[in-house]
């Protein structure tokens, strides 16, 4: 009987048990009603700030984010039902229409201008723009755009709306998210698995540099 390496079994089991895996390459465009969403976000702004401009560094800013990404984020919290996440209780009663409306509302809001200006010569800027071939780090702009405002193909195909804008996002949140991808704790969508591979070669210093530059980049 042919023996299968233990690492192969581990990887196979981790993917096989992902019954709720979502392939965002085939996901449709999100069509929500921003006006309807305005009446559904009272609980959201308590943590994510007025109009989705978060004040607490650990919470992501939602204002101006792409509707597709926001919708799939909410759907992911509902799907995973992680008891450790404060979002789990918030999304369980939301319908698909509710999530689409909330996503449309926050996507229509304006992001607060960063207090500090970004520099194109900053280490984080270079990593985002060029990556680092010697460390196996790919450029972030390929999926998130040269201006960090989202994939350049958003107007061509709906699937690109599921790549988030990163400019003017909370640095602490960005760093925590990248560490999650690096650790492989988020694997339930095609984009999450892409990010798992991207973040694999990011050390803590690189993550800090990227997050610091992105939070100072205007949205």
| All structural domains of the chain with their residue ranges | 1-27+114-219, 31-107
- How far is CA 95 from each of CA 74, 87, 123, rounded to the nearest angstrom? 10, 15, 42
Per DSSP, 163 falls in state S
- Please give the CATH superfamily to which domain 1-27+114-219 belongs: Cytochrome c-like domain (1.10.760.10)
Rounded Cα distance, 158 and 151, in Å = 11
Q: What mean pLDDT is reported for the chain?
A: 91
Residue 106 confidence (pLDDT): 98
Residue 9 confidence (pLDDT): 33
Q: Which of 61, 73, 64, 59 is nearest to 27 (CA)?
A: 73
Task: Specify the CATH number of the domain 31-107.
Answer: 1.10.760.10
CATH topology agreement for domains 1-27+114-219 and 31-107? yes
Which pLDDT tens digit goes with each residue over 90-125?
999 999 999 999 999 999 999 999 988 889 999 999
Strands (E), 44-192: none
Residue 149 confidence (pLDDT): 97
- Tell me the pTM: 0.89
């Amino acid at each position: 009987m042919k023996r299968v390496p233990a690492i192969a079994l581990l990887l196979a089991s981790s993917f096989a048990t992902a019954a709720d895996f979502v392939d965002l390459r085939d996901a449709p465009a999100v069509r929500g009603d921003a006006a309807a969403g305005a009446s559904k976000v009272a609980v959201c702004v308590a943590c994510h700030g007025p109009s989705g401009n978060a004040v607490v560094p650990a919470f992501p800013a939602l204002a101006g984010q792409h509707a597709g990404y926001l919708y799939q984020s909410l759907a992911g919290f509902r799907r995973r039902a992680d008891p450790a996440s404060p979002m789990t209780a918030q999304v369980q009663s939301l319908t698909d229409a509710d999530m689409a409306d909330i996503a449309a509302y926050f996507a229509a809001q304006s992001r607060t201008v960063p207090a500090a200006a970004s520099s194109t010569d900053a280490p984080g800027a270079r990593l985002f723009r060029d990556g680092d071939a010697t460390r196996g780090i790919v450029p972030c702009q390929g999926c998130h755009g040269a201006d960090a405002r989202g994939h350049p193909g958003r107007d061509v195909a709906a699937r690109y709306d599921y790549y988030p804008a990163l400019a003017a996002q909370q640095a602490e949140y960005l760093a925590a998210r990248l560490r999650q991808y690096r650790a492989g704790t988020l694997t339930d969508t095609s984009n999450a698995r892409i990010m798992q591979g991207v973040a694999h070669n990011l050390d803590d210093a690189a993550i800090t540099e990227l997050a610091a530059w992105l939070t100072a980049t205007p949205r």
